[in-house]
Structure 1
Amino acid sequence: MSVEKTIDALEKRLTALESEKEVRECMNRYMYFCDDIGIDFPLEKLTQLFSEGAVWEGKGGRYSKSFGRCEGRDAIAQMFKKYTLPPAHFELNVHVLGNEVINVDADSATGSWVLVQPSSFTSGKSQLSCARITAKFIKSSERWLIDHFQTESLFSRPMSESWDQPAPLPVPD
């Protein structure tokens, strides 16, 4: 292979790796904002991660019924708005992603993750949920944006106690 072809191939691989990193960072910011959402949360921080025509949807029986489908950035903001109004919904909300696969093809990308989400609510109830996340991304002029977000329940279980307890951490003497 010629030096020029080798350099071109390396540049393409580097661009794909950098794009994959940016897609991962976009999904990380999305999950961080979902962890942090509460009363008076500035929704534009969250919605700026989506393209103007983005779709956000719950898949399968449980999540399509609970979350439905939102088309467009404004509709997505309206769906999340209910989590920013009093009374607060979450006392604790943690989104843990694993089993990541990201594929980049020029200015579009797809990703899938498994989500584990322990949540405690201000109502005193708690929940452990697990979902499969699939998303499509597009590259805008400045950054990668979520263009189609899907979440599908794998399982969900109510818990009898809040996840965070005031007991001191057990550490060795």
Structure 2
Amino acid sequence: MQAILQRLARLEAVNEIRNSINRYMEICDALDANTNLSQLMALFDEQAIWEGVGERYQAAFGRYEGRSAIEKMFAGYMQQQSHFVMNAHFVSSEQIDLQEPLATGRWLMLQTSTFRDGSSHLNAARLHIQFKCQDDGHWKISHFQTENIFSRPISYWESAATLPVPKA
């Protein structure tokens, strides 16, 4: 019975970590002046680190140590005229390694964005995220790293063109 309970606890931990990343992306997709930033910050450990790594993302994003520094960075995106007109993150290729009280997750991320100035961009990144089990048993992000795989501008996302579907 103890082995089953341990397996169940591991499955629940992995599911909480997965849900944490999905919630992170969901909040970032709608980041604007009306965003409740405390919901995003609740995903992070008090001493968390958030950083862009690799040549492109290290230069673009930098490194932030501590939840308050991370919150300040995200607050920069919370403008009355939103930085993002449209933003959608897609995560895949999930790998979660649980070694309590720590866990490491790796994902591939695709981000499609249109900015306030009307330009649009496609980015792909590797996410390497460490989590720490808190005293209350919940998992928080302790070290978030994003590394660019490729970036490219595109002309637009949305088109009024009719979708091509087979005729019955």
**TM-score (norm. length: structure 2):** 0.93
2:89 aligned partner, one-letter code: H
1:14 aligned partner, one-letter code: L
> Which one of the candidate residues 152, 155, 162 is aligned to 1:160?
155
> Which one of the candidate residues 61, 71, 74 is aligned to 2:65?
71
Aligned ranges for residues 44-59 of structure 1 at < 5 Å?
A: 44-59=38-53
2:16 aligned partner, one-letter code: E
Aligned ranges for residues 6-85 of structure 1 at < 5 Å?
A: 7-85=1-79
Q: How many residues align?
A: 166
SS in 2 for 1:17: helix
CA distance in 1, matches of 2:53, 2:100: 27
CA distance in 2, matches of 1:79, 1:164: 29
CA distance in 1, matches of 2:158, 2:138: 36
**TM-score (norm. length: structure 1):** 0.90
Deviations 1:100-121 (A, max 9, x none): 0001122221100000111111
Q: Which stretches of structure 1, 4 residues or longer, exceed 3 Å deviation after superposition?
A: 166-173
Instruction: Tell whether 2:90 aligns with 1:88.
Output: no
Consecutive unaligned residues of structure 1, counting only runs of 5 or more, are 1-6
CA distance in 1, matches of 2:60, 2:75: 15
SS in 1 for 2:77: helix
2:28 aligned partner, one-letter code: C
Please state which structure has a larger fraction of its residues in helix.
Answer: 1
Aligned-residue CA RMSD (Å): 1.4
Consecutive unaligned residues of structure 2, counting only runs of 5 or more, are none
Deviations 1:87-144 (A, max 9, x none): 2111111110000000112222110000011111121100000000010111221521
> Which one of the candidate residues 147, 151, 157 is aligned to 2:142?
147
Name 1:117's counterpart in structure 2: 111
Structure 1, 87-96 or 128-137: larger mean CA deviation: 87-96
CA distance in 1, matches of 2:86, 2:67: 26
Change (3 A) 1:168 1:122: farther
Name 1:99's counterpart in structure 2: 93
CA distance in 2, matches of 1:73, 1:91: 26
CA distance in 2, matches of 1:164, 1:32: 20
